[in-house]
Amino acid sequence: MQGEDDLRGLAKIMAFMRAVSILLVLMHFYWYCYGFFVEFGWTLEIINKVLTNFNNTAGLFSYAIYTKIFSIVLLALSCLGSKGVKNEKITWTKIYTALGIGFVLFFLNGPLLNLSVKIATGLYLLTMSLGYIALMMAGVWMTRLLRTNLMDDVFNNENESFLQETKLMKNEYSVNLPTKFYYKGKWNDGWINVVNPFRASIVLGTPGSGKSYAIVNNFIKQHIEKGFSMYIYDFKFDDLSTIAYNHLLKHADKYKVKPTFYVINFDDPRKSHRCNPLNPDFMTDISDAYEAAYTIMLNLNRSWIQKQGDFFVESPIILLAAIIWFLKIYDNGKFCTFPHAIELLNKKYADVFTVLTSYSELENYLSPFMDAWQGGAQDQLQGQIASAKIPLSRMISPQLYWVMTGDDFSLDINNPNEPKILCVGNNPDRQNIYSAALGLYNSRIVKLINKKGQLKSSVIIDELPTIYFRGLDNLIATARSNKVAVCLGFQDYSQLIRDYGDKEAKVIQNTVGNIFSGQVVGETAKNLSERFGKVLQKRQSMTINRNDKSTSISTQMDSLIPTSKISTLTQGMFVGSVSDNFDERIDQKIFHAEIVVDNERVAAETKAYQKLPQIASFLDENGDDLMKQDIEANYKQIKLDVIHIIESELERIKNDPDLQHLVQQD
């Protein structure tokens, strides 16, 4: 009741102001057009005395403009109490037109007073009256439209805009991205501050959303500038590798020990270093061999990820693990390489099993195969072996063998005494073949870098679903204390679920602390919207009848960034949230902004980039290119090595009395 009384009181005040405004206009007419009223006998002596006294006291009629201004000010104030607009078709164009016409007719008709012609005075009265009416209409319309301005925001942009971080927060590990965000009707400058990259980051977005250009590239550049060792999975080699190489050339002085730039590239051995991911020095237990075999086989057979634990999934993995561990313990690991493991697996299974079971530590590992062999279950045995042989046969490639049998460097990239920037390149046309080998590098690196006392390091994996990264969920969960920053780029959560399985994908999604998302749709957009939470938003309802229009405003909790907004983000626009530290609090963790990239500067940098250097030279003394011959010679040597291993081991078994039962079985 009190509120209704207040509204009624306000309405009375507004009506009084308008009445006074109209009265001032009438007084203006009477004072300045007095001769006109005298001629028609429309004057009263008492009014003359009142106006004369009023002018002497306040000087209101000293100039014509005074009464005009006072009357319009009172009219404007009275319009504040206007009710709803009865006509929905009223627009700002009509309001501006009425204002313009009213101003001209009301204020610019003064010259008519200087004419002594009776008709001029009549025109003055008419134009000023029409001008006043036009200004009154414009004022009423304007006030009523302003009071219902939420109806103009059909996409609810104002409600869903919010204050974001405007302060730059830098530290020795941070990644800082300048932004522009919309808030309170204008674009503001802001910052996305990833002050703790060790809590892992995910970058989502459909193709062309700008995730690599705006975010991943900045992670690479800024971490090099801050002295990080780095591992980069470059799916579209050599896009990211070129950026890393050239940025390192400019900022090598940021490191206490200058890092070495290394490349793994199966397509062009001239631009690739050689590295053995099964280096025996870094395999301390048979479980390391199992991890390596697991990574290889699941990269070659993505459907097995969903079938982990099945007999015909585990059998080939165990067989390959046994072969890898055998090569580790044979001759001090001289032949412990992935190509040697492939070639050994493709030898006669009777010879292979005889050799492997001669080692007591492999006996239990091979029991499923030995049971089938000894029990005469040849079909089962052939199936188990074929499950390993067939997918691995796709990887028999002289160039791949060449790269994976050398020892140009070790995979401990964050060794403080030998820091490295390592880029491994894939090829979209051959990803099914290369992914298994590169996945092996990944799994070995995860093991080696996640240790205490190492240099701060960054793991950049763009297009994550193109490779199976064994142990990634564990790396995210545990590597924070070891200063390992993980940045993962992919297009959609559904890709992750398809290629990593539901359980592992959920762990990855839920353990990352920093998330960036460009345009995504479906369940991914819905999940992100729920992650960002809800805020109190205004809602407006409007009722129009023949006499009036009423508007009511209410509030309710609704999504801060709804699914529809995430599904329609423009290129370069990102939503997301960041995590903070105990001593670096970020009040506005959530963002919905355009990441600002200086396109001209980036274009100039790119134009000045040097190409990746040629690493290996296959020229002889005469300048002839012997690459093909050298690679083929390495390929044949691996085959000869495996033949020698089988022959020497069989000879050892024959000469050992304790192993005669194996010979007899054979």
Domain of 451, CATH number, reads 3.40.50.300
167 inside domain: no
Are 269 and 293 found together in one domain?
no
Q: Is the separation of the CB atoms in 445 and 253 below 8 Å? A: no
Are 534 and 566 found together in one domain?
yes
Are 234 and 343 found together in one domain?
no
623 inside domain: no
In the structure, what pLDDT confidence band is assigned to residue 194 with cuts at 50, 70 and 90? very high
Are 77 and 5 found together in one domain?
yes
Are 326 and 304 found together in one domain?
yes
In the structure, what pLDDT confidence band is assigned to residue 423 with cuts at 50, 70 and 90? very high
Are 182 and 131 found together in one domain?
no
Q: Is the separation of the CB atoms in 191 and 178 below 8 Å? A: yes
Amino acid identity of residue 90, one-letter, is: I
Strands of the 229-234 sheet, one edge to the other: 186-194, 175-183, 590-595, 573-577, 514-517, 201-204, 484-489, 457-462, 229-234, 420-425, 260-265
The total of other beta-carbon atoms located within 10 Å of residue 574's CB is 28
Are 16 and 136 found together in one domain?
yes
Mean pLDDT of 48-60: 64
630 inside domain: no
pLDDT tens digits, residue range 148-168? 554 556 666 777 788 899 999
Q: Where are the alpha helices (DSSP H) in 397-520?
A: 398-403, 431-449, 472-478, 493-500, 502-511
What's 475's DSSP letter? H
Are 286 and 254 found together in one domain?
no
In the structure, what pLDDT confidence band is assigned to residue 86 with cuts at 50, 70 and 90? very low
Alpha carbon distance 575, 160 (integer Å): 12
Are 563 and 652 found together in one domain?
no
Are 426 and 320 found together in one domain?
no
Nearest to 83 by CA among 143, 20, 134: 143
351 inside domain: yes
- CA quadruple 493, 199, 510, 437: dihedral positive or negative? positive
Are 392 and 311 found together in one domain?
yes
The total of other beta-carbon atoms located within 10 Å of residue 391's CB is 18
What's 581's DSSP letter? B
- Domain holding 301, by residue range, is 280-398+635-662
437 inside domain: yes
Q: Is the pLDDT of residue 20 over 80?
A: yes
Are 249 and 192 found together in one domain?
yes
165 inside domain: no
294 inside domain: yes
621 inside domain: no
Number of domains within the chain: 3
- Mean pLDDT (the chain) is 83
Q: Is the pLDDT of residue 84 over 60?
A: no
pLDDT tens digits, residue range 216-238? 999 999 999 999 999 999 888 88
Instruction: Determine which of 292-306, 397-411, 463-477, 532-546 has the lowest per-residue pLDDT on average.
Output: 532-546
